Amino acid sequence: MPLEFHASEALTFGVELELMVLNTRDYNLSRGAPDLLARLAKRKLPGEVKPEITESMIEVNSAVNRRHAKLIEELAVVRDAITAEAERLNLAIAGGGSHPFHQWQERRIFPSERFLHVSTLYGYLAKQFTVFGQHIHVGVENGDDAVYLTHALGPYIPHFIALSASSPFSQGVDTSFETSRLHAVSAFPLSGQMPPVVTWHEFNRYFDEMAGYGIVASMKDFYWDIRPKPEYGTIEIRICDTPLTMEGAAQLAAYAQTLAAHLLANRRRGPLEPQYRVYGYNRFQACRFGYEAQLIDPYTRTSVRLREHLLDTLERIGPDGERLGAKEPLEGLWRMAQASQNDSGWLRDRYAELKSMPDVVRVQALRWKESAREEAAQGRA
């Protein structure tokens, strides 16, 4: 049966943020999500706060927004409510793409029908999926636009990786990667990127074939870096680590909205196969080296440092950002890229100072709570 694409207002946007639930003794992950969610259910909040795959995680879903300023106002309300209720339970909340020292085997699957199904299907990978990402939804008017934008955003995925990177540590060690989180995602068989279909009709044929094999039942079964979400009328960028601050999350959303606006207004069509021949390599480079990654352009057969490619892109889309009310967050991202700063660097700096993984997570949680407004003003959040 064909998937119906439910049109939405173009360039509206929203975010999903997966957050750590911590104890306040040694700042390891806690199984406190069920109790925390029960308290939050009594509050009237914008958007939604819901469970994630293990009991050490929660997920924040924003409402649909048109402007960055409204999104950041909403996220501040939700952040403050979650932090307050967590403190009443002697818990703490933190952003970041991975917990620096937790052991995956200690996690417990949240007892919902879908999460238990995922655990049954994927075994130990489900618990190893206790990593924390930001997803960004951008509204589009029809399925063909969703397919186009999913492909058009592909070459810019390394930008989102470098800007959001906040998972340098895993299982108690420095991985030497800017983001270690994406290795957990890549382990799933339906990860990666959408096949090179070019219309919604072609996508439906592909989906029907995969459903006919019994491999998928819905779009949730695809763990792609970017995927259409026909039930919402959006495309969903799934590549980002959760930032350490809600300001950082809102900046990334503003970048996604502005970049989508620019790509829709300046459409370029061409063969998709060259783009996907280098996709995995460019993705790896960004995960490993961040701003210093060397990106390959398969059409010109040249390479460029990610930092320069990102700065050039931010300059090019500046007029679109100003029109959308995103001038300030884009300028903040430009300053970050110019100085080669991200949350992975901040976490490594804190470990160099504190010499203790639990203390790193403690200040990580404090940063989420306070949102580091002073650092945001200096272009560091």
Distance CA 226, CA 289 (A): 21
What band does 1 get if pLDDT is binned at 50, 70 and 90? low
Tokens of 262: 């620019």
159: confidence class by pLDDT, cuts 50, 70, 90: very high
Torsion angles phi and psi, residue 192, rounded to 5: 100, -130
Given a cut of 80, is residue 359 above it in pLDDT? yes
Comparing 270 with 280, which gets the higher pLDDT?
Answer: 280
- Residue whose entry in the numeric block shows the structure tokens 């459409």: 267
pLDDT of residue 333: 98
Tokens found for residue 342: 């991200």
Amino acid letter, 40: L
- pLDDT of 214 > 90? The answer is yes
CATH topology of domain 13-376: Creatine Kinase; Chain A, domain 2 (3.30.590)
Buried b / exposed e along 1-26 (16+ C-beta atoms within 10 A): eebebeebebbbbbbbbbbbbbbeee
- As a whole number, mean pLDDT of residues 359-373 equals 87
φ and ψ of 140, to 5 deg: -135, 160
Give me the mean pLDDT over the 75-99 stretch: 97
* Secondary structure class of 225 (helix, strand, coil): coil
In percent, how much of the chain has pLDDT > 70? 97
The HSE-up count of residue 311 (CA atoms within 13 Å, CB side) is 13
What pLDDT is stored for residue 270 in this prediction?
Answer: 82
pLDDT at 358: 98
Output the pLDDT for position 330: 98
Write the DSSP assignment of 229-281 as a string of letters.
ETTTTEEEEEEEEPPSSHHHHHHHHHHHHHHHHHHHHS-----SHHHHHTHHH
Q: Which residue from 107, 108, 103, 124 is spatially nearest to 170, judged by alpha carbons?
A: 103
3-state SS, residue 42: coil
pLDDT of amino acid 2: 77
Q: How confident is the model at residue 378 (pLDDT cuts 50, 70, 90)?
A: very low
What average pLDDT does range 345-374 have in this prediction?
A: 91
Supply the pLDDT for residue 157: 98
Contacts of range 331-336, beta carbons closer than 8 Å, 24 or more positions apart: 332/247, 332/251, 332/376, 332/379, 332/381, 333/163, 333/251, 333/252, 333/255, 335/379, 336/163, 336/379, 336/380
Average pLDDT of span 108-131: 92
pLDDT for 321 beyond 50: yes
Tell me the pLDDT tens digit for each residue of 277-310. 999 999 999 999 999 999 999 999 999 999 999 9
Lowest mean pLDDT, pick from 137-146, 181-190, 279-288: 181-190
DSSP string, 54-119: BTTEEEEE---BSSHHHHHHHHHHHHHHHHHHHHHTTEEEE--SS-SS--GGG--B---HHHHHHH
Residue 377 has pLDDT above 90, yes or no: no
pLDDT of residue 379 exceeding 50, the answer is no
Residue 210 CA to its chain's centroid (Å): 26
Q: Give residue 331's pLDDT.
A: 98
Could you tell me if 154 and 275 are in contact, meaning their C-beta atoms sit under 8 angstroms apart? Answer: yes
pLDDT at residue 372 above 50? no
Average pLDDT over residues 158-162: 98
The model's pLDDT over 325-340, given as tens digits with 9 standing for 90+, comes to 999 999 999 999 999 9
For 5-23, how does the pLDDT look when each residue is reduced to its tens digit (9 = 90+)? 999 999 999 999 999 999 9
Angle between helices 279-289 and 306-316 in degrees, nearest 10: 100
Q: What whole-number distance in Å separates Cα of residue 300 and Cα of residue 268?
A: 15
